[in-house]
Every structure is written in structure tokens, then in C-alpha cells.
Amino acid sequence: MLDRLGKGIIGRMEEPEVAGTETGTGKRYVGERTIDGCQVLVDGEPLDEALEVRAISSDGFEWSYEGEGPEQLAFAILYDHFGDAERASARCTSFMRAVVANFNNDWEMTTHDIDRALENIGTTA
């Protein structure tokens, strides 16, 4: 069972807005640690590491601490979310510190969660 990222910078969580549901149109990001390493999916498909856009770590995604792997994940999530490398780069370090570094081993978040986290980071920065 995955833990919902439901406290801290995002605040109180509401029902997720997930693509393909009656309640929302957002994307769903899921991270799991498996015997083969870390796996991150967006709407059931592997999340692009976006190394060709901004290479922070060539060792793949990581989370639950501050470092290059978590920052690559933060950038990839935000790049996928915004569709804009400049916006993703500008926010990825603060997003990594406030959100990605605090993920449990297995996690999930939605587009709504990302927007809420970015709003809260903006008010605490």
C-alpha cells in the first residue's frame, strides 16, 4: 500500500484529482522502491528522467533525503508538470527540499498536490 503524501508542506490532503476519474483531470505520480531500485510512474508510464534537458544525476531517481538523485526527480516531476525547463529549474531545489526529501519509500502525488506544494513553498520561501 502506498502512503499518500499528506502532511508537511502540502498541508491537509483532499481527494486526489487523478486522470481518468470523474473528479479530476490531473496526472498521478507514483514512486516505489523495488528489488530493482527506484521506479517512478506518471499515469502508469515511466517518468522521463529529463537528463537531456538538465542532467543533475546520472544515477537515476532517489528520494527521502537531499541530494542529486532527489533533485533530478524534483526536476523531472516539475518539468513534466510545467512542460517548461526554466520554470522547473527555478523551483526544483526548493521542491526537492520541501517535498521529495520527505517522501516515504513508496509515495504518490497528483497534479493538485504539486500545485498545492508549490503554493505553500512560495509562501514560506
- Does pTM top 0.85 for this prediction? no
pLDDT for 7 equals: 46
Distances (CA, A) of 125 to 66, 87, 94, 119: 17, 16, 8, 10
Residue 86 placed within a domain: yes
Low-confidence spans in the chain with pLDDT less than 70: 1-25, 123-125
**Selection from 114, 122, 121, 123 nearest residue 17 by Cα:** 114
Domain count, the chain: 1
The predicted pLDDT at position 40 comes to: 97
The predicted pLDDT at position 58 comes to: 84
Please tell me the predicted confidence (pLDDT) of residue 4: 52
Give the model's pLDDT for residue 13.
39
Query: Using alpha carbons only, what angle is made at residue 13 by residues 46 and 77, rounded to the nearest 5 degrees?
Result: 25
What pLDDT is recorded for position 123?
58
Q: Is residue 4 part of a domain?
A: no
Residue 87 domain boundaries: 26-43+51-124
User: Could you tell me if residue 19 is inside a domain?
Assistant: no
Which tens digits make up the pLDDT trace of 23-55? 456 999 999 998 888 999 999 999 999 999 999
Per-residue pLDDT, 103: 97
